[in-house]
Structure 1
Amino acid sequence: MPSFQIFDRPSRFCGPGSDTKQLYAVTPSDIDKPDALPDSFRRFARAAGFSAREGELLIAPSGDGGIGGALFGLGQKGAPFAAGRLSRLLPAGDWALARFDGDVAQALIGFAAGGYRFERYLKPSSATQVRLAIPDSCDAAAIERTVAAIFLARDLINTPANDMQPDHLEQVFESLAGHYGATFGAIRGDELLKAGFPLIHAVGRAGEKAPRLMEMRWGRKGARTITLVGKGVCFDTGGLDIKSAAGMGLMKKDMGGAANVMALALMIMDAGLDVDLRVIVPSVENAIAGNAFRPGDIYRSRKGLTVQIDNTDAEGRLILADALTYADEELPDLLIDMATLTGAARVALGPDIAPFFTDSDALAEKLSANGERLSDPLWRMPLFAGYDARLKTAIADLTNAPAGGMAGAITAALFLKRFVGRARTWAHFDIYGHAPADRDFGPAGGEAQAIRALFETIRTN
C-alpha cells in the first residue's frame, strides 16, 4: 500500500483474479431481474427465502459442496456503506463484487472502513481476513489512500493518552512528513514564548510533556496555498476548572482535530495534488500543576489581542488562536481548521454530522454537495455577528468563555474568526471525532470526519 499508516495493517483489498468468489449485492427488486443474477443464484435465493433486506447475507453452495458465492442485501435504498457489514459477515478469503448497482468505489471504502479494528493492545489475530477485489474500473490508489487516511485518524484518536502525548504526536507527524518528502519543524516549551506563541505555552506549560507548535510543508511553491490547522490537545483534564470523571473519560480524543488534518494531508500528498500545502498542529496537554494557567488570568495572544481566561476548560480555542494567527500571516488561499471544540456542537447536530462555519457561500456549497455525494455528513452553521458582543469583557479584548453558555459553538467560531483576517477563504470545523456506537462504516471509537468531503473539494476546485 502506498500510503503512510501509524500502525502496520494488511490491505483489505486484493486484485481481481480467478480465485475470488463472486458476491452479488442486490436490492429486493434485483432478485427478479433476469440480468441481475445467474439463474442458479436466483433459484437458490428464492428457495432460501432471501429478501435482500439491508445487511442480509446468503452463502450459496458450489456444486462440490463448498462455497460458490454469496448474495448480500442492500435494501430498498441501496446504501453503499451497508457494504461495511461484509467484512464481518463474509467467510474469510478473497471476494469480488460481481454486481453492485451504485458507486462501487464508495462501497469498497465502506467495506474496508467497516472492517477496522483497533487492536494495538490485544493479542494479534491469526485469522484470515476477508478481502474484496478492486475492479479495473475503479481507481485503486484513490480507494487505498482514503482507507489509509480513515485508519490513520482512527488510530491516533483511539490511542490512549499515555501513548499519545505531544511528543508521540510529533513522532507520527514527522514520520508522515518524511514519508512524503515534506519538511517538518517544531517549536517546544519555553521557545514558544520567544517565537511568539504565548497562548499555546500558557495552556500546555503544566503538562508533563512540553507544549509545542508543529509545522509541515509540502508541494509546489507558487501553486494554490492550502493551510490546515488542527487542535492537538492530547488530553484535557479541564485544567483548574477540572472536568468530572465522566467528562474526562473520552478526553484522549481531544486531539481529533490534529488527527483529521494529518489524515487529510495524507490524502493530498498521496494524490500528488498541485498545491502548496502547509499543516500546523499546536499540541498540549491541558493538565493541573502549580504552574497551570488560572481562571481570571489575562494573556496577550500572538495577534496582540488580550484574552481573559474565564474557563480553563475552553483551552482549545486558545491554542488555535495563536496557530491561526500564524497560519493567516502567509495569506493562504484556503485556511481550514479542525477541532473537537465544543459540546454545544454535539448538542446541535449529534456526533455523526460535522458542523462547519465559513463566510464563503461558494465553499459551503461545494463542501455540502461533496459531503452528501460521499456520505460524509456535514452541515453549515451560522457565524451570526449578533453574538460577537458576547466575547467582550471589561478588562481585556476578549473572553475565552462567554457567560451563559448559549450558542457555544457559534461564539467559539466567532472567537477564532478574530484571529483570521488575511486568508482568502476560511472554514472552521467543530468535529466530534468519535463514534459512540458501532455502525456499518466502523466500530465505536475514533472517527475521521469531513476529510473525504474536504479532499474532494480541494481536489476539484
Structure 2
Amino acid sequence: MTVALAPAGTDALPLHVLGADDVALWAGQQSDRIRTWVESSGFKGAIGAALMIPNDLGQPEAALIGYGTEALRNRDRFALAAAMTKLAPGTYRIDSGIEQDHLEQEALGWLLASYAFDRYRDTKVERPTLVTPDGVDGERVSIMAEAEFLTRDLINTPASDMGPQELETAARALAKRHNAKITVTTGEALLADNFPMIHTVGRASDRAPRLIDMSRGNRGPRITLVGKGVCFDTGGLNLKPGSSMGLMKKDMGGAANVLGLAHMIMASGLQVRLRVLIPAVENSVSANSFRPQDILTSRKGLTVEINNTDAEGRLVLADALTFAAEEKTDLIVSMATLTGAARVAVGPDLAPYFTDDDDAATALDLSARRMADPVWRLPFHTPYEPMIEPGIADLDNAPKGGFGGAITAALFLRRFVKEDDRYIHFDIYGWQPTAAPGRPKGGALQGARALFAALPDLLGL
C-alpha cells in the first residue's frame, strides 16, 4: 500500500474544515446555491461529518469536513480522519480551518485512516488523497505512517504466519531496505553464545527461538532498541485461559513497535548508530517446557526463580538487555507488551514508560502531545525492589500479591542494564480495541512516534 501525501501544488478540490461555530458564517459568505445546499444538507460541522459540494453540472467542486468544538477535539485525536472516509475518492487540499500547529497531526491522521489489513481478503477501497499542507514536511509524515502500517501489519498477522522465523524475515526485509546489517542467533546457538533465558523460553516450540540483531550507522550517538518478540504466548505450563489467550498473537507487539521506530529513524536519516535487538520466541507447552520453581541463570549471571511461566517476556528481554548494555550506549529503550497491570493502571490508549532520567521524561511528554501519541510516566519505585527478590535466587520473575505489577516488571528489567545506562522502558498494549479516527481495530504502534520526535533532544542531534 502506498502511504504518501500528494505533493504541494497538485491539482485538488478545496477542502474547508469547519468547526461547529463556523458553518453559518462560512455559508453566509458563499453563493446562494452553495448556502442553500449546506443548509438543506443539515451539515453542522460535527466531528465525523463530511459534505461534498457539487457544481452546476453535479460534479464535485469542493468539500466540507466538520471539526466540532475544541472541547470535543480534546477528547480524542485525528479529528480530520474521522470524516476522511466519507469523502468521494479524489485529491483534496486544506483551504482553511486548521491551525498551523495542528496540520502535521491532522495530515498524519488522514494517512493512518487509509490503512486496511488486506492480507487475507480483498478490502481494497479507493481512499481520498490529501495534498501536503503548507508548512508540513510531507516526507516525514509519510515515513511515520509507513512505520505505523508496518507495525500494524506485523501485529495483525496471526501467529500461524508470524512466528520467530517470519519475524526474522520481516526484520531482514527492513534491513535490506535501509542497507542495515543483520545477524541472527538461532536454536542451540543461543546456548553456545550465552543467551540461556531466550533459549529456555522458546525451546518447547518446534519453531526455533532466536535473537535478531540489526544495526546501521557509524556516526553519531548510539541508541539500542530492544523489542519483546513473543510471537505467541500460551502461558507455558501456567497455561492461560482461553479468554486471555485470544489476543496473544500481539505479544510480539514490542518487536513490531521497535521495527516501526527503526524505520522512522533510518528513513528520516537521523545521524545515529542504531541497533535493534529482538528476542523472538514462541512460549509453548511441551515435554521440555520450563517449569514453575525452576531457577534459570541469565546471561548477566543473575539467577531467576520461575514462579510463573507466563511471565516469560521479561526473561527474554533480560538476556537481550544485558547484551545491549555490554557496549557503551547513549540510550537503551525496551518496548514490550509486558503486563496486564499496565492496562489496569492506564487503559489501552496510553503507553506507560519508566525512566530515571527527568530530562528524558520531559522531552517525551512534550513530543507525545505534539505527535498525538499519548504516553504516561510510571516510577521505577526502588522501595519495591525487595518484591522481586525471592531469597532462593537473585530475582523472582512473578512476585506474589499482584500489587504494582508493571513497576516490579520494570524493576526486574532495570537489573539487566548498568546503573549509569540511560534507560527507558515502555510497557505497551500494542492493540486498538475499538475503532477510532485514524486507528482501526487491531495492531497499534504506541509510544514510538513520541520517542522518535524526542530523539533530537534526548541525543543532542
Does the TM-score normalized on the shorter chain lie above 0.5? yes
Q: Secondary structure at the residue paired with 2:14?
A: strand
Q: 1:39 to 1:325 in 2, by over 3 A?
A: farther
Find the partner of 1:182 among 180, 197, 209. 180
User: Aligned partners of 2:199, 2:85: CA distance in 1, in Å?
Assistant: 45
Q: 1:14 Cα shift?
A: 2.5
Matches within 5 A, 1:216-365: 216-221=214-219, 223-365=220-362
8 Å contact kept, 1:331–1:423: no
Q: Encode CA deviations 1:75-129: one digit per residue, 9 max, x unaligned.
A: 111566012223321111222222232222211110111221111100253x433
Q: Encode CA deviations 1:371-409: one digit per residue, 9 max, x unaligned.
A: 122221110001111111011113111110001111100
8 Å contact kept, 1:114–1:440: yes
Q: Aligned residue for 1:148?
A: 146
Counting aligned pairs with the same residue, the percent is 46
Please tell me whether residue 110 in structure 1 is matched to residue 126 in structure 2: no
Please tell me whether residue 74 in structure 1 is matched to residue 74 in structure 2: no
User: Aligned partners of 1:275, 1:257: CA distance in 2, in Å?
Assistant: 21
Q: Which of 111-120 and 255-264 deviates more?
A: 111-120
Q: Encode CA deviations 1:208-228: one digit per residue, 9 max, x unaligned.
A: 11111111111124x111110
Q: 1:207 Cα shift?
A: 1.2
8 Å contact kept, 1:328–1:422: no
Matched AA of 1:318: L
Matched AA of 1:15: P
User: Aligned partners of 2:27, 2:453: CA distance in 1, in Å?
Assistant: 34
Count of aligned residue pairs for this structure pair: 451
8 Å contact kept, 2:221–2:272: yes
Find the partner of 2:407 among 405, 410, 415. 410
User: Aligned partners of 2:449, 2:24: CA distance in 1, in Å?
Assistant: 36
Q: Aligned residue for 1:6?
A: none
Q: Secondary structure at the residue paired with 2:231?
A: strand
8 Å contact kept, 1:334–1:423: no
Please tell me whether residue 52 in structure 1 is matched to residue 45 in structure 2: yes
Q: Which runs of 5+ in 2 are unaligned?
A: none
Task: Report the TM-score, using the length of structure 1 for normalisation.
Answer: 0.94
Q: Secondary structure at the residue paired with 1:137?
A: coil
Q: 1:12 Cα shift?
A: 5.2
Matches within 5 A, 1:85-164: 85-102=82-99, 103-123=102-122, 125=124, 127-164=125-162
Q: Encode CA deviations 1:136-183: one digit per residue, 9 max, x unaligned.
A: 532111011000001011000000001100000001101101111111
User: Aligned partners of 1:50, 1:197: CA distance in 2, in Å?
Assistant: 61
Task: Report the TM-score, using the length of structure 2 for normalisation.
Answer: 0.94
Q: 1:245 to 1:181 in 2, by over 3 A?
A: same
Q: Which of 84-93 and 209-218 deviates more?
A: 84-93
RMSD: 1.8
Q: Secondary structure at the residue paired with 1:214?
A: strand
Q: 1:15 Cα shift?
A: 3.0
Q: 1:37 Cα shift?
A: 6.7
Find the partner of 2:210 among 201, 209, 212. 212
Q: Encode CA deviations 1:308-346: one digit per residue, 9 max, x unaligned.
A: 111000000000000001101112111100000000000
Matched AA of 1:137: G
8 Å contact kept, 1:30–1:36: no
User: Aligned partners of 1:12, 1:133: CA distance in 2, in Å?
Assistant: 9
Q: Aligned residue for 1:379?
A: 376
Matched AA of 2:141: I
Q: 1:63 Cα shift?
A: 1.7
8 Å contact kept, 1:86–1:111: no
User: Aligned partners of 1:124, 1:48: CA distance in 2, in Å?
Assistant: 30
Matches within 5 A, 1:28-39: 28-33=20-25, 38-39=30-31
Q: Secondary structure at the residue paired with 2:122?
A: coil
Q: Aligned residue for 2:198?
A: 200
User: Aligned partners of 1:413, 1:18: CA distance in 2, in Å?
Assistant: 49
Q: Encode CA deviations 1:178-235: one digit per residue, 9 max, x unaligned.
A: 11111100101011111111000000011111111111111124x1111100000000
